[in-house]
Amino acid sequence: MEYKFGGSLTNQKTVLGHPSGLFVLFFTEMWERFSYYGMRALLVLFLVASVFDEGWGWDRADALTLYAFYTGLVYVTPIFGGLIADKITGYRKAVVIGALLMTLGHASMALEGLTGTFFYLGLVLLIIGNGMFKPNISSMVGKLYKTEDKEKDAGYTIFYMGINAGAFLGILLCGYIGESVGWHYGFGLAGIFMFVGMLQFYFAQEIFGKIGLSPKGAEDFDDAMEDALEETEDAIEDTIEEAKSSKVVSDRLIVIGVLAFFTIFFWWAFEQAGGSMTIFAADYTDRVLEGDGALIFKIFNTLLTVIPMIIITWVLGMLFKQTYAKFALSNILLGLSFVIIWAIVIWMLYRQFTDPAPEVPASWFGILNSFFIIAFAPIFSKIWESKMNPSGPVKFAIGLILLGIGFGILAFGSMGIPLGAKTASVSMIFLILAYLFHTLGELCVSPVGLSYVSKLSPGKLVGLMFGIWFVANFIANTAAGLTGRYIDPIVEDYGMATFFMIFTIIPIAAGLIMLAISRLLVKMMHGIR
């Protein structure tokens, strides 16, 4: 009997029309993103918090430098993690190893109160663990489907929703607990759910059948690496020869390079979200609410939290129905994690509703990105499928311009902040609108860029081209933190509005240049749309 989907017989049972194994991966990735974004939301806030507030009392420049190297390196290690999985461990073992390393990393950060060594060790473990986990769980999603049709695209869309659900809950809950209860509790909470995600994946992995198993007859590590490098060198040489003799191949490679170059400008500005924008939320935004404003926030935050939780719990129930008989322990662990999450959500909302003048956590604004993605992704998907669908370079241009407009809104809202001010009370509406425009820009750039790398790359070099794309993200994330570290001297000499105008002018200028060369790039794609 031939199965419709890859994997075991149980995997043929569907949830929302997709194989059950997709939702095992969905929840594993959700908890991983919960832990990553939950920790990221706290990192800079913890470092700059005073010793009196149980932080480390770093100045902003040093905190943003550490943030730069951390967020940059998490885009480098997946290149090696994917290679190790391909040649030695297989995807499944790599996912478990990565999840275990990240669990230990979060646990180590939760012990930062004992010695700072634990904090740095935790960051290193998170960087290495992310490299083993991130590329390989995404690869398993593709292996569930036997064809390259719209069904696979829809599967990746559902998986992307899991990413955003995890980011949303991680920032919301880890951020709230870290800021209102204690930093180490926030770091520890991130680790608990990373551990749960690892266990539910481990005990349900037989649902994938042979998907993600170790390569047969794998050599030792040195031989595997040597073979992989030789294969890559051969592929590069073949592609260079092909590019010399084929204008189509050379033109498409140039387009990938141009898109990778312009994506650096996008993520350089966008990744201010975890750095300078978090500082702006903490120190320059009026987050204390009273009267009607407090009531409106409480109602909005409750709906914003409870509705996604109900939807995700409903999906969990459908997975239970299809897989509990075969993978009871995995389901029980997953169900227990949701009981804990619901308890934390109810406790958080109760505390906020009983507080007559609640203060919005500085980390709370980070959830807006995930919320806006969930809200607007279906609309953008419909536009891309319609006759109004612009070319890839035009989408990039629109994304860069929208990003610049978001920072322009922040610059406008910051005009009243005096030179050198360390605190201010700017309305929250400016940050909310900035996150809206940034997210709209992300929807024009992020999925589009990955799609075009896949379409334009020569068959032998798809993996390498994605590696180059990750390097562009590494450059952007590192540059984002290193640029953000100059927030204090720029604010002191020129003002906060000038600081945000830098991130307004450069992306918009890059977007206009991309718009000007878009027709040339489309021509160089030679029919790829």
Please name which of 376, 428, 438 lies closest in space to residue 407, comparing C-alpha atoms.
Answer: 438
Q: What is the 3-state secondary structure (H, E, C) of 246-306?
A: CHHHHHHHHHHHHHHHHHHHHHHHHHHHHCHHHHHHHHCECCECCHHHHHHHHHHHHHHHH
pLDDT of residue 459: 62
What's the pLDDT band for 481 if we cut at 50, 70, 90? Answer: confident
The average pLDDT across 45-63 equals: 86
Evaluate whether 48 touches 63 at the Cβ level (below 8 Å). Answer: yes
> Average of pLDDT values for 165-182?
89
pLDDT of residue 218: 45
Q: What percent of the chain has pLDDT over 70?
A: 90
Per-residue pLDDT tens digits for 184-224? 888 888 888 889 989 999 999 999 888 888 765 444 555 55
pLDDT of residue 85: 83
- Cα separation, 62 vs 68, in Å, equals 10
CA distance 237 to 335: 51
State the average pLDDT over residues 136-150: 75
pLDDT by residue (tens digit) across 314-352?
989 999 998 988 999 999 999 999 999 999 999 999 988
Q: Residue 158 — very low, low, confident or very high, per pLDDT cuts 50/70/90?
A: confident
Q: Which amino acid is at 28?
A: T
Q: Is the pLDDT of residue 172 over 80?
A: yes
From 15-24, 25-34, 289-298, the region with the lowest mean pLDDT: 289-298
Mean pLDDT of the region 387-415: 92
pLDDT of residue 268: 94
- Is 136's pLDDT higher than 90? no
Most confident stretch, 197-201, 402-406, 444-448, 451-455: 402-406
Q: What angle do CA 332, 191, 299 make, to 5 degrees?
A: 80
Which has the closest alpha carbon to 363: 168, 130, 188, 190?
168
Q: Which one has a higher pLDDT value, 293 or 362?
A: 362
Whether residue 406 is predicted with pLDDT greater than 80 in this model: the reply is yes
Mean pLDDT, residues 176-181 taken together: 88
Which region, left, alpha or beta, applies to residue 291 given φ > 0 means left and ψ of -120 to 50 means alpha?
left
The structure's pTM equals 0.82
Cα–Cα distance measured from residue 398 to residue 411, given in angstroms and rounded to the nearest whole number: 20
pLDDT above 60 (res 163): yes
Separation CA 294–CA 296 (nearest Å): 6
Task: Kindly tell me if the per-residue pLDDT of 262 is higher than 80.
Answer: yes
* Mean pLDDT in residue range 471-492: 89
Contact 331, 319 (CB under 8 A): yes
Q: pLDDT at residue 125 above 90?
A: yes
Mean pLDDT of 523-528: 82
How many whole angstroms separate alpha carbon 34 and alpha carbon 27? 10
Average pLDDT taken over every residue of the chain: 85
186: its two tokens: 């926030």
In the prediction, which pLDDT does 460 show? 62
| Mean pLDDT, residues 247-269 taken together | 88
